Amino acid sequence: MLQIWALDGIREITPGDDLVRVILDATTEPLRDGADGSLRDGDIVVVTSKIVSKAEGRIIHASDREDAITRETVRLVASRTSPTGHVTRIVENPLGIVSAAAGVDASNTPEGTVLLLPVDPDASARALATGLRAATGAHVGVIVTDTLGRAWREGQTDHAIGAGGIHVFEDLRGTTDAEGRPLVVTLPCVADEIAAATDLVKGKAARRPVAIVRGRGDLVGDLDLPGARSIVRDPVRDMFRQGADEAYAEGFAAGRAAAG
């Protein structure tokens, strides 16, 4: 049985806040059904990047959100202009993550400001795991999430952009299926699955940025396990490292030059 719940009573986070203390305070509350909400061995603490960014002071003044996106962009992957003139840019941000706004977040931020992603979400997750383990004695893992769109599918789901003390992949390579054949290509990204699962308990537009997942303690491990950065595919291996329109245009120019 997997149990997932969001912590109630997390107040607005401001720069310099100690998230370990904030989470501990929230987990000392009994759960709604009266059960003990304290962290236990094997619990996975899942935190939105939004509050990590706020605690780390990654708030900037931005009368123009587009400027912030441009500054956070290391590579334009694709862009498209709608009939009404709205430009959608899909870009790679400094973390290697491909998304629609380079991780620049203008929702649930004070007016006139935008949030940047944490500089190193894996380091943030490891620091949280270290602090929570020291304070509680419980062997917990931490995942930091962001909401991302997908190629080929509408809508967004939450993904892992930081991980500390937890296996981000469940490596089935080397195991066999029920017929005894090797499961060679299966590499479930459990960190992304956990991130997605916790989005289901956050509540619409509510301030419930921390969730606990109980029941997969086997995924919790050493603090030096690879972080969520290891989920990002190297563009060299990526068949979709560039949008179709952009690749076509580059090819067209190269073809014309080769013929000329």
Distance separating the N- and C-terminal Cα atoms of the chain: 66
Among 8, 25, 31, 65, binds a copy of itself (CB under 8 A): 31
Distance in Å, CB of 66 to a copy of itself, minimum: 14
CA atoms within a 13 Å half-sphere pointing along the CA-CB vector of 166: 39
- Rank residues 127 and 147 by Cβ distance to a copy of itself and give the closer one: 147
Region binding a copy of itself by CB under 8 A among candidate stretches 67-75, 114-122, 127-135, 188-196: 188-196
- Rank residues 20 and 231 by Cβ distance to a copy of itself and give the closer one: 231
Which of 96, 105, 93, 100 has the alpha carbon at shortest distance from 65? 105
Around Cβ 185, how many Cβ atoms within 10 Å?
Answer: 7
Distance in Å, CB of 206 to a copy of itself, minimum: 8
Among 24, 60, 123, 201, binds a copy of itself (CB under 8 A): 201
Structure tokens at 215: 């029941």
Query: Which residues 46-65 are close enough to bind a copy of itself by CB under 8 A?
Result: none
- Rank residues 134 and 185 by Cβ distance to a copy of itself and give the closer one: 185
The secondary element (H helix, E strand) that includes residue 142 is strand 141-149
Region binding a copy of itself by CB under 8 A among candidate stretches 13-21, 68-76, 107-115, 121-129: 107-115
Among 109, 120, 123, 130, binds a copy of itself (CB under 8 A): 109
Among 9, 15, 186, 222, binds a copy of itself (CB under 8 A): 186
# chain residues binding a copy of itself, by CB under 8 A: 90
Contact 243, 68 (CB under 8 A): no
Q: What is the largest CA-CA distance in the chain?
A: 77
* Binding characters for a copy of itself, 153-172, by CB under 8 A (x = yes): xxxxxxx---------xx-x
Which of 58, 59, 49 has the alpha carbon at shortest distance from 209? 49
Among 17, 193, 217, 223, binds a copy of itself (CB under 8 A): 193
Q: What is the DSSP letter of 220?
A: B
Contact 138, 130 (CB under 8 A): no
CA distance 66 to 30: 43
Query: Which residues 65-94 are close enough to bind a copy of itself by CB under 8 A?
Result: 78-80, 88, 90
Query: Which residues 214-253 are close enough to bind a copy of itself by CB under 8 A?
Result: 215-216, 230-233, 238-253
CA distance 161 to 97: 8
